[in-house]
Amino acid sequence: METTAAILWEQGQDWSVETIELDPPKGREVQVRLVASGMCHSDEHIVQGDLPGLFPIICGHEGAGVVEAVGPDASFVEVGDHVVFSFMPSCGSCSSCASGHSNLCDNGGLLVAGRQIDGTSRHHAQGQDLQTLLLLGTFAHDTVVHEWSCVKVPKEVPLDKACLVGCGVTTGWGSSVYAADVQPGDKVAVVGVGGIGSAAIQGAALAGAEQIFAIDPLEWKHEVAQGFGATHTASNLEEAAALIEEETWGRKCDKVIMAMGLGDGATMDQVMGLAAKRGRVVVTNIHSAAETSNTIPMLDLTLSEKQVVGSLFGSANPRKDIPRLLELYSAGRLDLDGMITRTYTLEDINQGFADMREGKNIRGVLRYE
Ligand code: CXF
Ligand code: ZN
């Protein structure tokens, strides 16, 4: 069939919205008519080259839609199902999945850009095979993915909001709740108030943090952060250090969540300075693949027993946590609506990314009518 997709033909270019040829699903693949897709910084990282990409590629990995067709071997996804994509597939049987860490499924490992799991392509344009980001390619009206990438969700949940849980919300919320293990009474700093940071603030608040310091250079985001549960705001790490010192009586933060658009190893000394003795710094944001050094004060790491941990997808289990987060949304305990600053059509995708670069959005969402 023919459908419309935004293709990135080469790194650094604009998105090109054009007609593509989409093959029917094979094996355990499913064809999904997308309702919406969030625009995540990781898509921008492919454009900028901070994450390695293969081209031409259809990016987008925060999508939700309705299943239109299934391959002959699909086992748990049926036509008509509403699904949110998980940016990591969950095969259920690799050692990561089997040990309760399906965010690290061996079938997703290093597949930032790829084709189908069998190595062939269902997406084609201008006579070429297309890559799909994270085996998804949600910047398109229709796509074909493996059922391992699908999480079924109740039909009442609005898919144009639910799409956010396919990456940013689970990543941010899980960074607080799982990776940082925020405890009642904790003092928490969240560095960066975007899609991940605003979900991290909400996760920390729900987990019972007593103080939540939201740090972002953009003033307008301070008020937004307070709406999500931040108790204090600061514009930069220096200002945050003074505020945290004052407000915690010198104890500093039990947990620090790094949720910047792009991490910077040169600032890690300041970041570590926000953490208390035995404090944990969770590095959720992406650092450039080209970055090879940082400024973590190593002696203090030992003397203060600080921890630095990486977290992918909020250290969550997508097939368990995506429905769970949508239940919290339906119960009014997780605000997805407030995270969506602007919506766009697929034709306006370049405007959406321009707005991201200018810091105009918590999340921009493409809606496919
Ligand atoms: C990222 C994490 C690093 C690989 C690409 C996807 N997560 C979501 O944006
Ligand atoms: Zn993402």
Residue 26: pLDDT above 80? yes
Q: How far is the CA of 42 from the centre of ligand 1 (A)?
A: 6
Same domain membership, residue 180 and residue 142: no
Pocket test for ligand 1, best of 39, 112, 282 (most atoms within 8 A of CB): 112
* Residue having the nearest C-alpha atom to atom 1 of ligand 1: 42
Q: How far is the CA of 262 from the centre of ligand 1 (A)?
A: 12
Backbone torsions φ then ψ of 164, nearest 5 degrees: -60, -25
* Residue having the nearest C-alpha atom to atom 4 of ligand 1: 112
Indicate the pTM of the whole model.
0.98
Least confident of 115-119, 214-218, 322-326: 115-119
Same domain membership, residue 183 and residue 123: no
Q: Is 286 in the pocket of ligand 1 (CB under 6 A)?
A: yes
* Bridge partners (DSSP) listed for residue 58: 7, 132
* Bridge partners (DSSP) listed for residue 57: 8, 131
For the record, the structure tokens of 121 come out as 């392509």
The arithmetic mean of pLDDT across residues 28-44, rounded, is 98
To the nearest whole number, what is the mean pLDDT of the chain?
97
pLDDT for res 243:
98
Residue 331 lies in a domain: no
Same domain membership, residue 181 and residue 301: yes
Same domain membership, residue 179 and residue 156: no
- CA–CA dist 316, 196 (Å, integer): 14
Same domain membership, residue 111 and residue 13: yes
Q: How far is the CA of 133 from the centre of ligand 1 (A)?
A: 10
Give the contacts of 33 (CB within 8 A, at least 6 positions apart).
65, 66, 68, 141, 142
Residue 329 lies in a domain: no
3-state secondary structure of 320: helix
Residue 306 lies in a domain: yes
pLDDT for res 110:
53
Residues known to be catalytic: 40, 42, 45, 61, 167
Q: For residue 102, what are the domain limits?
A: 2-166+336-367
Residue 321 lies in a domain: no
Say what percent of the chain tops pLDDT 90.
95
pLDDT for res 53:
86
* Residue having the nearest C-alpha atom to atom 2 of ligand 1: 312
Q: How far is the CA of 137 from the centre of ligand 1 (A)?
A: 13
Residue 103's Cβ-count burial label (10 Å; 0-12, 13-18, 19+) is buried
Residue 328 lies in a domain: no
The arithmetic mean of pLDDT across residues 276-286, rounded, is 98
Same domain membership, residue 274 and residue 176: yes
| Ligand of minimum distance to the alpha carbon of 286 | 1
Same domain membership, residue 293 and residue 202: yes
Reported as a pLDDT band with limits 50, 70 and 90, residue 108 is confident
Q: Which residue has the higher pLDDT, 209 or 53?
A: 209
Ligand 1 atom closest to the Cα of residue 312 is 2
Same domain membership, residue 270 and residue 179: yes
Looking at the 3D structure of the chain, how many domains does it have?
2
For the record, the structure tokens of 175 come out as 């960074």
Q: Which of 311, 327, 357 is the last residue of a domain?
A: 311
Same domain membership, residue 154 and residue 195: no
Peptide bond into 56 cis (omega under 30): yes
Residue 109: pLDDT above 60? no
> What's the CATH number where 178 sits?
3.40.50.720
Give the contacts of 277 (CB within 8 A, at least 6 positions apart).
252, 304, 305, 306
Same domain membership, residue 83 and residue 158: yes
The arithmetic mean of pLDDT across residues 3-15, rounded, is 98
In DSSP notation, 187-200 reads EEEEE--SHHHHHH
The arithmetic mean of pLDDT across residues 99-110, rounded, is 87
Beta strands across the sheet bearing 253-258: 232-234, 211-215, 187-191, 253-258, 275-283, 307-310
Q: Is 59 in the pocket of ligand 1 (CB under 6 A)?
A: no
Q: How far is the CA of 295 from the centre of ligand 2 (A)?
A: 26
Q: Is 285 in the pocket of ligand 1 (CB under 6 A)?
A: no
Residue 324 lies in a domain: no
pLDDT for res 113:
67
pLDDT for res 114:
78
Q: Is 112 in the pocket of ligand 1 (CB under 6 A)?
A: yes
Residue 89: pLDDT above 60? yes
> What's the CATH number where 77 sits?
3.90.180.10
pLDDT for res 56:
97
Our CA angle for 303, 234, 283, nearest 5°, is 50
Residue 276: pLDDT above 60? yes
Q: Which tens digit of pLDDT belongs to each residue from 200-259? A: 999 999 999 999 999 999 999 999 999 999 999 999 999 999 999 999 999 999 999 999
* Residue having the nearest C-alpha atom to atom 9 of ligand 1: 42
Residue 358 lies in a domain: yes
Residues with CB under 5 A from ligand 2 (ion): 40, 42, 167
- CA–CA dist 349, 334 (Å, integer): 27
* Residue having the nearest C-alpha atom to atom 6 of ligand 1: 42
Residue 72's Cβ-count burial label (10 Å; 0-12, 13-18, 19+) is exposed
Reported as a pLDDT band with limits 50, 70 and 90, residue 369 is confident
Ligand 1 atom closest to the Cα of residue 41 is 9
- Radius of gyration of the CA atoms of the chain, in A: 20
Backbone torsions φ then ψ of 216, nearest 5 degrees: -160, 140
pLDDT for res 12:
97
Same domain membership, residue 293 and residue 189: yes
Q: How far is the CA of 243 from the centre of ligand 2 (A)?
A: 30
Same domain membership, residue 160 and residue 42: yes
Residue 22 lies in a domain: yes
* Contact of 281 with 256, CB cutoff 8 Å: yes
| Ligand of minimum distance to the alpha carbon of 168 | 2
- CA–CA dist 61, 48 (Å, integer): 17
Give the contacts of 215 (CB within 8 A, at least 6 positions apart).
189, 190, 191, 192, 193, 233, 234, 235, 236, 237, 239, 240
